[in-house]
Amino acid sequence: MTEMVFGATPVRAGDPILPRWWRTVDKWSLACVLGLFAMGLLLGLAASVPLAEKNNLPRFYYVQRQAVMGGVALVVMIIISMMSPRQVRRLGVVGFIAAFAAILALPVIGTDFGKGAVRWLSIAGMSVQPSEFLKPGFVALCAWFMAASQEVGGPPGKAYSFLAAVTVVLLLALQPDFGQASLVLFSWGVMYFVAGAPMILLMIVAGLTICGGIFAYGASDHFARRIDGFLSPEVDPRTQLGYATNAIQEGGFFGVGVGEGTVKWSLPDAHTDFIIAVAAEEYGLIMVLAIIALYCTIVVRSLMRLLKERDPFVRIAGTGLACAFGVQALINMGVAVRLLPAKGMTLPFVSYGGSSVIASGIAMGMLLALTRTRPQGEMAEILRRAGR
């Protein structure tokens, strides 16, 4: 009866790891990730050609790099998805420490690539954005703290997680990278809610966030310019938002045709932050809805599987990873249609990028590992351990 209700899959002694992984992993989510990556390559064939020609490179140089980096990300995702929850936790904590150290080094050895925010480390001709790798590690660390606080005589893990969240958000805001800071704070809030936080505390945090946004508007010209551009009733057609808005309108339901779009020649970030505008112009609303459906499927299926989970760490960390993944996609597409201020955030597995796609592979591998079906134990045993 327990297995019928909670969907547990028995694990046979000596069962090889690959058959056990295939039997327990969420195949629908895995297929959706592969679908997103395939769409990213398809859109990259159009969106990255202008940039390659501008830099005097072969026409499909960036598509080939995306295929290589995406292949690495998929391999990393599958390897991590085979891990146990304990291994996922250890990987997340170690990854957080490494990424946190890299962020601390940004003011000294970081670069902004002319974008007004010091977010990247340039190493041996390659650029790495530490904040991308920080997010999955941060989720695992805070979930560990929150789960430990639920144990009898456990540490004040929720307080530790709040301190970690405040520290990370402040460091990201100083870059400035308000988009990633908002995503980190959102993922912490979701996990804190799942861990049983009082609503009054979450309301206080929301109020402090609003106050922080007002302060940032007055203290940061970079932040103020983006907010002013978002609030302006008129969209400058010569800006990225103007080009993206026009492209989405031109695409209509079925698009202007494969390779017939023009926005990719005007948008500097057509292959990264605004790739959804290329999809909308060339393939129309149909392609956009298909992309949205893939993201929704991953998030909803992950949350539904986590509802059956009794392990606090798995439940909290999985929820944080799933929600952060979905909200990042929502922010990227929301910026393109001018529902949100410009954030400089990629579309997971679809946008071009080395750090972003590999970090997405790590995060999705952790999520797939945590949502694998596993024996939950008899309810009587669970209650007996809780009463000790």
Q: What is the pLDDT of residues 239-264, one digit of tens each?
A: 777 778 788 888 888 888 877 787 88
Question: Using a CB cutoff of 8 Å and minimum separation of 24, what contacts does 158-166 make?
Answer: 158/192, 158/195, 158/197, 161/188, 161/191, 161/192, 162/188, 162/192, 164/138, 165/138
Characterize 30-67 residue by residue with b for buried, 16 or more Cβ atoms within 10 angstroms of its Cβ, and e for exposed. bebbebbbebbebbbebbbbbbbeeeeeeeebbbebbe
Q: What is the pLDDT of residues 119-148, one digit of tens each?
A: 778 776 677 889 999 999 999 999 999 999
Residue 388 lies in a domain: no
In this model, does residue 378 exceed pLDDT 50? Answer: no
Average pLDDT over residues 214-227: 72
Residue 121 lies in a domain: yes
81 within 8 A of 75, measured Cβ to Cβ: no
Q: What is the pLDDT of residues 340-359, one digit of tens each?
A: 877 778 899 999 888 899 99
Give the range of the structural domain holding residue 323, as residue numbers without chain letter. Answer: 5-9+16-383
pLDDT (0 to 100) of residue 115: 64
In this model, does residue 4 exceed pLDDT 50? Answer: no
pLDDT (0 to 100) of residue 238: 65
In this model, does residue 7 exceed pLDDT 50? Answer: no
pLDDT (0 to 100) of residue 14: 56
Residue 315 lies in a domain: yes
In this model, does residue 24 exceed pLDDT 50? Answer: yes
Residue 283 lies in a domain: yes
Q: What is the pLDDT of residues 60-115, one digit of tens each?
A: 888 999 999 999 999 999 999 999 999 999 999 999 999 999 999 888 887 776 66
Backbone φ and ψ for 235, nearest 5 degrees, come out as -100, 120
Percent of the chain with pLDDT over 90: 45
What is the tally of structural domains in the chain? 1
Please tell me the number of Cα atoms within 13 Å of 308 on its side-chain side: 20
pTM of the model: 0.88
